[in-house]
Amino acid sequence: MKPIFSTVGIVGAGAMGRGIAQISVQAGSTVLLFDMQADATRAAQTAVFSQWDKLGEKGRLDPAQVASYKSRLLCAQTLPALSDCDLIVEAVVERLDIKSGLFAELEDIVRPTAVLATNTSSLSVTAIAAKLKRPGQFAGFHFFNPVPLMKVVEVIAGLKTHPDVCADLAAYTRQMGHTPVQAQDTPGFIVNHAGRGYGTEALRIVSEGIADFATIDRILKDQIGFKLGPFELMDLTALDVSHPVMESVYHQYYEEPRYRPSVITAQRLAGGIVGKKVGEGFYRYEGGMAQIAPEPPPPQVDEMPPVWVSTRAARRAELYQLLKNLGAKVETGTSPSPAALTLVAPLGFDITTVAVVERLDPARTIGIDMMVDDNATKRRVLATNPATRPDMRQAAHALMARDGKAVSVIRDSGGFVTQRVVATIVNIAADMCQQGICSPKDLETAVTLGLGYPMGPLAMGNLYGPTNVLEVLFNMQTVYGDPRYRPSPWLRRRGAIGLSLLHEEE
């Protein structure tokens, strides 16, 4: 199949430029690679050749393919050498002045029909194109590292971009073997925007003293199925990359509370404790391995108190069955006896609030997160309140660990850990749909491919119930008084009428 863009110029020979060059050649194009440093261009070509050689050694490419690919990846010595390119993709430093100046120079070199594309991850496509004579031929074309493995590409239209330019870029993305998603020119586009909730909400949980880094990572991996916990992920990407993105999106949205960064990452960045690449981040690394203390065993309790379950508990029937399976002595009266361990299972509220509202003895009251079906999770999460007695805490922990399932006990928190992180992720995704940044379908594709979530945020909202997510958000807003948790109108309306969050409007 003939490639949509026969000759492609790549400006910038870093890791991103090399990756784009590699898959462009594999799509059938001839690629001219250029960097202001000539030796960088040659080093990039050598690195890509080495990748193809390795694929050939593994039998994934035959010798003829390797030879053909190498013949079509060329080094350009000057910018004017790119004059015959059908498409030029820029992958240089994230500075508006440098990118704008580069494209103004390129526009005077290439044919009027050539497409110019920026790989920017954080700058406005419209702003980069503002001084161009042909802004209709300009678009965002955002790849993710490592390019050959990260199979999603954001195609972004500026305010003056011609629709057929984006259509051609999307079709070319498919020829590369990647998946295009269409995004409006908004801060963070799709992936970096949708990803704001995971790390920032986890940081808020830590800042409130609710749980430590390792506990939060364990909970979100074991309860939801994330491959990496938020602190493992930030250590991997490094705070010198992730914290500036947090600040950039926050400020570009004029201090929208949903995207508020954390002083925790700002302080660690200032101190150089940025992650795995320097041997220390949220975890300390030896030989590339995080040094994490093992979880202590469950406490041993000689005499287990009877258990009473709140009449307002989420999944109350399932909680009763769980207690029966664990061999608990369950009280069924209208109120707990003076000796009973009292279990509550709120959505969004903290344990203190529930104890006060339901007139329960806070010293004997423990919360359990029941938003996720117990059969579908590898970990149970309990929460104390400031008055919970140590013996009741230990009894609840020992009881919930009887069948060998892992148990985490955290301090009081509106929404525990999982509820508040999931609700934040779903709410941000819903508001992206409200703003028309992308379609629900493209949002799900971009997040699953670009962030590696176990499912898209809208599918996550459907799984745990839009009405449950709304209840978590409304109640957290009550507990914290923070507009960060105000539900998106898009989510609120669909939750109110029982509509799937994946439903595409006509």
**Four-residue CA torsion sign, 72, 165, 40, 241:** negative
Catalytic residue among 154, 201, 331, 444: 154
Catalytic residue among 24, 121, 468, 475: 121
Other CB atoms within a 10 A radius of the CB of residue 55 amount to 17
Catalytic residue among 192, 408, 468, 475: 192
Minimal CA–CA distance to 158: which of 180, 131, 179?
A: 131
Pairing of strands 289-291, 284-286: antiparallel
Active site residue 142: yes
CA distance 376 to 378: 7
CA torsion, points 9, 10, 12, 17, in degrees to nearest 10?
A: -170
Active site residue 335: no
Active site residue 121: yes
Minimal CA–CA distance to 425: which of 81, 193, 256?
A: 193
The DSSP output letter for 277 is G
Q: How far apart, in Å, are the Cα atoms of 238 and each of 150, 234, 278?
A: 18, 6, 9
Which residues, in sequence order, are CB contacts of 130 under 8 Å at separation 6+? 100
Q: Render 32-76 in DSSP notation, one character per residue.
A: EEE-SSHHHHHHHHHHHHHHHHHHHHTTSS-HHHHHHHHHTEEE-
Q: Render 399-441 in DSSP notation, one character per residue.
A: HHTTTS-EEEEE---TTTTHHHHHHHHHHHHHHHHHHTSS-HH
Catalytic residue among 142, 178, 243, 397: 142
Which residues, in sequence order, are CB contacts of 189 under 8 Å at separation 6+? 121, 140, 142, 154, 156, 183, 437
Active site residue 468: no
Catalytically active residues, by annotation:
121, 142, 154, 192
